[in-house]
Amino acid sequence: MGVSTKIPEALGGVLFIDEAYALVGEDGRDSFGREALDTLIKLVEDYRQDLVVILAGYSSEMARLIEANPGLRSRFPTVIEFEDYTCEELLEIATGMLLQDVMVLSEPAASDRLRGLLQKTVPKPGKKTDRQAGNGRAVRNILERAKRNQALRLQKEVTEGKNHNQTDMCTLMPQDFDGCET
CATH assignment at residue 17: 3.40.50.300
What's the mean pLDDT in 142-164? 95
Amino acid, res. 53: V
Domain of 145, CATH number, reads 1.10.8.60
Q: What is the mean pLDDT of residues 71-90?
A: 87
Compute CA distances 111 → 42, 86, 118, 119, 177, whole Å: 51, 16, 10, 12, 10
d(CA 147, CA 106): 13
Residue type, 169: M
The reply to whether 113 falls in a domain is yes
pLDDT digits (tens, 9 = 90+) for 161-179: 999 999 999 999 999 999 9
**The domain boundary residue, chosen from 38, 53, 75:** 75
**3-state secondary structure labels for all residues of the chain:** CCHHHHHHHHCCEEEEECCHHHHCCCCCCCHHHHHHHHHHHHHHHHCCCCEEEEECCCHHHHHHHHHHCHHHHHHCCCCCCCCCCCHHHHHHHHHHHHHHCCCEECCCHHHHHHHHHHHHHCCCCCCCCCCCCCCHHHHHHHHHHHHHHHHHHHHHHHHCCCCCCHHHHCEECHHHHCCCCC
Residue 97 has what pLDDT? Answer: 96
Q: In this structure, are residues 144 and 79 in contact, taking their beta carbons and an 8 Å threshold? A: no
Structural domain for 46, as ranges: 3-75
Q: Is 71:41 a contact under the CB 8 Å cutoff?
A: yes
Q: What percent of the chain has a predicted confidence (pLDDT) above 90?
A: 42
Q: Do 62 and 98 have their domain in common?
A: no
Confirm whether 182 is domain-assigned: no
pLDDT averaged over every residue in the chain: 85
Q: Are 135 and 58 part of one and the same domain?
A: no
Residues 7 and 51 in one domain: yes
pLDDT (0 to 100) of residue 83: 83
**Residues 116 and 64 occupy one common structural domain:** no
For residue range 11-67, list pLDDT tens digits in order.
898 889 888 888 876 665 656 777 878 888 888 888 888 888 899 988 888 888 888
In a domain, 168, yes or no: yes
Angle formed at CA 120 by CA 116 and CA 126, multiple of 5 degrees: 135
Total domains, the chain: 2
Task: Please tell me whether residues 61 and 103 are part of one structural domain.
Answer: no
User: Of 46, 75, 104, which one is at a domain's C-terminal end?
Assistant: 75
Which domain-ending residue is among 16, 47, 75?
Answer: 75
What residues have CB less than 8 Å from 174, skipping those under 6 apart?
A: 106, 109, 110, 112, 113
What pTM does this model have?
0.72
Do the domain assignments include residue 81?
Answer: no
CA 6, 81, 125, 60 dihedral sign is positive
Residue 108 lies in a domain: yes
**For residue 2, is pLDDT > 80?**
no
